Structure 1
Amino acid sequence: MKKIKPARLKKGDTIGIVAPASPLYNKSDLVRGIRTLEEWGFKVIVGEHVNARYEYLAGTDEQRAQDVNLMFKDDRVDAIFVTQGGYGSARILRYIDFDAIEQNPKIFIGYSDITALHLAIQKLTGLVSFHGPGMAGFNPEELTEYRKNQLFKALLSSESIGEIELADKKKWINIINPGEARGEMVGGNLTLICSTLGTPYEIETEGKILFFEELDTEPWVMDHMLSHLLNAGKLQKAAGIVVGECKDCEPYKHNPGFPVTFSLEDILEEYIKPLQIPAIYGLPLGHTKDLATIPLGVQGFLDATIGKLIIEECGTRS
């Protein structure tokens, strides 16, 4: 499959802001995020419908898709940042102009619900996009030094990101299966990955390093989604598997003195361990303040024996 890399981001470039999914609860989050980008030396253009609201969506499907399409076509815009995830990205895929994206490759970054767009863009255009923070996290309360440094390494540096290190050295990488694997990075939010199955945007995992993360999802629901991926042949075809931090993925009701249900670790081991594919769990790739930015579609190396993921290829071009 062809691979297209966007131009590297540099100070003075213009960043376009779009809202492909849910609206920001506080509109001031956008104002604060724009101020941060401007303090970093970037110019900002805001999509026409970014502050629109259509129930739990940031405008109608057509409005949200229009903003994405126009940002890719706008010669003034060098990179496209989303406001946040939430819900709704999959609804706009049928309105996205993928030819325009392929002809106007630009940095596109977001995570969570934005996974639907990443997978569709990667499959239909070959453009390297970036699994990383949205505008809701670009303020002093949310923007940790780790998040900022990882973002800059991914978007502004001419070097590959290298090892994705733990932000907190006290945290733990759980080795599900030891071994080594090399392949293109693919993945994102588990719910959205599963939602692509049976569609033209279906995730391709064969020979690739699959990573996924989740939020506020009970282990039995994780069981359901991993079963779906296994039945679809996606887990067993991966060269390696990386599970990010899955925040609050615990039973909603349990007796701490006598747990009577699987933990998330139990579920991961049940599905992944028998595959004998190199796999680890615990990197900061999910809904955490210390979120690492990952270029999708570039070469990665997983050394699961020592719990390390290394991004070997730069996601941008000069």
Structure 2
Amino acid sequence: MHPSSTPPDPLNTSAGLRPGPRTGSPLRAPRLRPGDRVRIVSPSSRPSRRDVERGAAVLASWGLRVEVGDHVFDQWGPMAGRDWDRLADLNAAFADPGVRVVFATRGGAGAYRIADGLDTDAVRRDPKPLVGFSDVTHLHLALWRECRLATVHGPFLTHGDDVLDSGTVQALRHALTETEPITLHADPNEVTEAVTVDGTATGVLIGGLLTALSTEAGAGLPSLDGAILFLEHPLSGLRNVDRALTQLRRSGVLNGLRGVALGQFFGFEGDVTASQDGGWSIADVLIEHFGGLGIPVLGGLPVGHRNRPATLPLGAEAVLDGTAGTLTVGSAVT
């Protein structure tokens, strides 16, 4: 039961927000080991109990001790409870020295409402990766901006066998328990594979959901100067993609990029929207925005909202090779 007094407003960015480091080496957590405690939280939308039980069982099979946040199953509109309760669960996980990894249950809506309330002091004292994608991108960006924390753009283990397979799950486990770099290869079946500019680039990998980055532009988006930008996007018309990319370009955040890595743009297969957009495909829109930047671009990465997505560390040094069709990223853990 929440106290009757008015709780702190996580949207009030003028109270209690402590600016974090803008430069410096990434913070990386120790790799996950059997017997470690991990915490499941819901910073965005509400999951079902069955889905959380499924994800907890996967983690337990790795030899981990699994805990579930107090408000994981709350509901408030499209979100898993009130902002301050979702934030309290997230901050409690970061502040607990025994918790080694924080797993989000799902995306959806709401992480953008609490991103400015993260306990950055706790994160800096005891770095631990956050795992998730989609709406969780808002938190990945905030953790990088304020703490330089390396995190993991990884699948939600609450998803069933229709989304995950043993290879997908093993790839996530490997990213959290091993320290060697991860190499992804462009998939010719992805619609973004056609968007490629030859060349090689090195830089810290930052990004995730396109609409999360465009929402944060001008407010909470970290500097992309010297970075490789990763983008993925699901189920939205070409005009929405064009608007989001235009927002990023007009805000100036694309200045200084070293490379662009494009994942799954789900829902654009077969150029289904071309008849409504003057014959343009998603590849045309992406080339329009990135093809003239004079930097390497690699499309076709199997990361995003389609089934069996690959795991990708964020906030780690990466090498993009548009000619070879590979993205190699350092580990988020040590």
Scaled by the length of structure 2, the TM-score of the pair is 0.87
243-252 vs 289-298, which moves further: 243-252
TM-score w.r.t. length of structure 1: 0.91
Deviation at 1:252, TM superposition (A): 7.2
1:144 and 2:165 matched:
yes
Structure 1 residues 55 and 259: alpha-carbon distance in aligned structure 2, compared to 1, 3 A threshold? closer
Question: Given residue 232 of structure 2, which amino acid in structure 1 is its aligned partner?
Answer: E
Shift of 1:169: 7.0
Report how many aligned residue pairs link the two structures.
309
Letter in 2 for 1:274: G
**SS of match in other structure, 1:33:** helix
CA separation of 1:122 and 1:45: change in aligned 2, threshold 3 A: same
- Partner residue of 1:106 out of 128, 131, 140: 128
After superposition, the Cα gap between the structure-2 partners of 1:171 and 1:89, relative to the gap in structure 1 and judged at 3 Å, is closer
1:204 and 1:152 map into 2 onto residues whose CA distance is 29
Q: CA deviation at 1:4?
A: 0.9
Cross-structure match for 1:10: 33
Equivalent residues of 2:238, 2:273 under 8 A apart:
no
Secondary structure, in 3 states, of the residue corresponding to 2:30? coil
| Residue range with higher mean Cα deviation, 280-289 or 83-92 | 280-289
What is the rounded CA distance, in whole Å, between the counterparts of 1:308 and 1:99 in structure 2? 36
Q: 5 Å matches for 1:166-205? A: 173-199=193-219, 201-205=220-224
* Runs of 4+, deviation exceeding 6 Å: 250-254
* 1:26-51 deviation line (CA, Å, top 9, x unaligned): 32111111112112221101000000
For residues 210-267 of structure 1, the C-alpha deviation after alignment (integer angstroms, 9 at most, x for no partner) is 0100001111111111111111222342100011011004777665xx9734211010
Q: Distance in 1 between matches of 2:268 and 2:120?
A: 34
CA shift in 2, pair 1:61/1:238, >3 Å = same
Distance (whole Å) between structure 2 residues aligned to residue 216 and residue 17 of structure 1 = 27
Unpaired segments of 5 or more residues in structure 2?
1-22
Match of 2:305 in 1: 287
Percent same amino acid among aligned pairs? 33
**Structure 2: distance between partners of 1:281 and 1:102:** 34
SS in 2 for 1:90: helix
Q: CA 1:273–1:79 in structure 2 vs 1: closer, same or farther (change >3 Å)? A: same
Q: Which whole-Å deviations, capped at 9, do the CAs of 1:259-289 have from their partners, x for residues lacking one?
A: 7342110101111111121002111111022
SS at match of 1:176: coil
Question: Over aligned residue pairs, what C-alpha RMSD do you find?
Answer: 2.0
Contact 1:129 1:297 in 2 (8 A): yes
Counterpart of 1:115? 137
Match status 1:51 vs 2:73: yes
Instruction: Report the 3-state secondary structure (helix = DSSP H, G, I; strand = E; otherwise coil) of the residue aligned with 1:177.
Output: coil
- Mapped to 2, the partners of 1:236 and 1:95 lie a distance apart of 28
